[in-house]
């Protein structure tokens, strides 16, 4: 075994935004394609499963992870026409900044400030302020972890939907994404997306207020003012997806409980999971060291001593309370690394 490449019994507490105590049997930070291929061969020789943890901003980790954890760290952004080919380890927000400042492209500004890597962005089709990755997705390259073959995926093959894709399921993974292609309009052909009132109000009246740079700054400001800082209060951002229900379910809900804030999505209504949790007075509610944030009802934090089991138990309590009061099933957004899907 290459001791420099593969670490044994690796402490992952600094590799997950919830700061949960967790150790990997084997760990490899793959900074190049070559290191990645060596890591894949190592896993094959040892007969161990592969799990992928990039920045750890959307995972809930158990105390022990068997097999090899790979952290993709490959770097590089190449511009070809209006397309950017981006290696998996580039930080998402660095890409957004570079796309505007260095390449003069627009279209990613609403997605400013989302933590994590470019390689992880397709997993849950990251989205914010009315824009999703799928709106500017050109394709991706992934390696099959069993066969080691390289595959290209277009948008249809990724099966993107709201916070979901063909790649999003509990570990172990089948593919590792190594490169993502972003397709963007030039700034001259750019139409800002200001569907969300918060963002519209934040940019209104500013100088050159609809430029990608101004929108980026407004988004960053809004995010800092709303969300607890994961460095101070370890968390993975929104913990539950906003439930999307059909019109008849929506009508029977408002009959029972009165007006409910919602966003029209074709013949469906998207409800605010934060609002539902807040209505139940669950801000500050704790199980062990896991707590619903006092600042934002959609965020679950590690109060300092949380375990995987505490987070899981709190998740279930919140889901149960929302089901009992509103008859709505809340789905967690982060990926639980216990091998079992939780719903």
Ligand X SMILES: Cc1cc2nc3c(=O)[nH]c(=O)nc-3n(C[C@H](O)[C@H](O)[C@H](O)COP(=O)(O)OP(=O)(O)OC[C@H]3O[C@@H](n4cnc5c(N)ncnc54)[C@H](O)[C@@H]3O)c2cc1C
- Contacting positions for ligand X (CB under 6 A): 17, 52-59, 72, 88, 114-117, 119-121, 123-124, 126-128, 167, 171, 173, 175-177, 227, 230, 235-237, 335
Give min distance, CB of 186 to ligand X, in A.
Answer: 25
Q: Is the separation of the CB atoms in 39 and 80 below 8 Å?
A: no
Q: Is the separation of the CB atoms in 89 and 54 below 8 Å?
A: yes
Q: In degrees to the nearest 10, what's the CA dihedral of 13, 180, 39, 169?
A: 60
CA nearest 298: which of 316, 313, 277, 279?
277
286 is catalytic: no
Give min distance, CB of 115 to ligand X, in A.
Answer: 4
Angle at 117 between CA 113 and CA 121, to 5 degrees: 85
Residue closer to ligand X by CB (options 310, 333) is 333
Q: In degrees to the nearest 10, what's the CA dihedral of 124, 20, 36, 166?
A: -20
Give min distance, CB of 248 to ligand X, in A.
Answer: 29
Give min distance, CB of 294 to ligand X, in A.
Answer: 16
CA nearest 27: which of 16, 12, 46?
12
Tokens of 198: 């918060």
35 dihedral zone (left: phi>0; alpha: psi -120 to 50; beta): alpha
Residue closer to ligand X by CB (options 121, 136) is 121
| Catalytic-role residue among 22, 99, 211, 238 | 238
Give min distance, CB of 334 to ligand X, in A.
Answer: 7
DSSP H helices, the chain, are 33-46, 92-101, 155-158, 197-203, 212-226, 247-257, 273-279, 308-326
Buried-state track 307-341, b at ≥16 Cβ within 10 A, e below 16: bbebbbebbebbbebbeeebebebbbbbbbbbeee
Residue closer to ligand X by CB (options 35, 321) is 35
Residue closer to ligand X by CB (options 107, 250) is 107
CA nearest 291: which of 220, 147, 283, 98?
283
66 is catalytic: no
Residue closer to ligand X by CB (options 124, 315) is 124
CB neighbours of residue 214 within 10 Å:
17
163 is catalytic: yes
CA nearest 236: which of 343, 180, 163?
163
| Catalytic-role residue among 109, 179, 181, 333 | 333
Residue closer to ligand X by CB (options 52, 318) is 52
Residue with CB nearest ligand X? 116
| Catalytic-role residue among 163, 211, 216, 293 | 163
**What values do phi and psi take at 332, rounded to 5?**
-65, 150
Give min distance, CB of 337 to ligand X, in A.
Answer: 8
Catalytic residues: 163, 238, 333
């Amino acid at each position: 075994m290459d001791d420099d490449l593969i670490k044994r019994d690796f402490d992952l507490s600094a590799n997950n935004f919830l700061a949960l105590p967790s150790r990997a049997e084997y760990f490899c930070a793959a900074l190049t394609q070559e290191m990645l291929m060596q890591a894949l061969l190592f896993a094959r020789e040892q007969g161990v499963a592969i799990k992928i943890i990039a920045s750890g901003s959307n995972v809930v980790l158990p105390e022990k992870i068997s097999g090899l954890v790979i952290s993709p760290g490959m770097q590089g952004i190449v511009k070809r026409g209006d397309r950017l080919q981006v290696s998996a380890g580039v930080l998402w927000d660095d890409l957004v900044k570079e796309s505007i400042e260095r390449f003069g492209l627009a279209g990613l500004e609403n997605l400013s400030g989302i933590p994590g890597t470019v390689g992880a962005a397709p997993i849950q089709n990251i989205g914010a302020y009315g824009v999703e990755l799928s709106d500017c997705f050109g394709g991706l390259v992934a390696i099959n972890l069993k066969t080691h073959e390289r595959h290209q995926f277009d948008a249809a093959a990724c099966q993107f939907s709201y916070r979901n894709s063909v790649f999003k399921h509990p570990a172990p993974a089948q593919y590792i994404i190594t490169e993502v292609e972003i397709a963007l309009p030039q700034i001259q052909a750019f139409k800002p997306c200001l569907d969300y009132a918060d963002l519209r109000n934040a940019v209104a009246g500013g100088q050159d207020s609809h430029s990608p740079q101004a929108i980026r700054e407004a988004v960053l400001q809004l995010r800092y003012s709303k969300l607890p800082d994961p460095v101070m209060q370890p968390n993975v951002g929104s913990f539950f997806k906003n439930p999307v229900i059909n019109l008849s379910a929506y009508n029977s809900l408002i009959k029972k409980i009165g007006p409910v804030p919602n966003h029209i999505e074709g013949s469906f209504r998207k409800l605010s999971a934060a609002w539902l949790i807040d209505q139940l007075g669950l801000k500050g509610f704790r199980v062990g060291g896991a707590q619903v944030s006092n600042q934002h009802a959609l965020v679950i934090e590690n109060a300092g001593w949380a375990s995987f089991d505490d987070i899981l138990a709190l998740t279930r309590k919140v889901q149960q309370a929302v089901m009992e009061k509103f008859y709505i099933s809340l789905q967690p957004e982060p990926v639980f690394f216990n091998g079992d899907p939780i719903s």
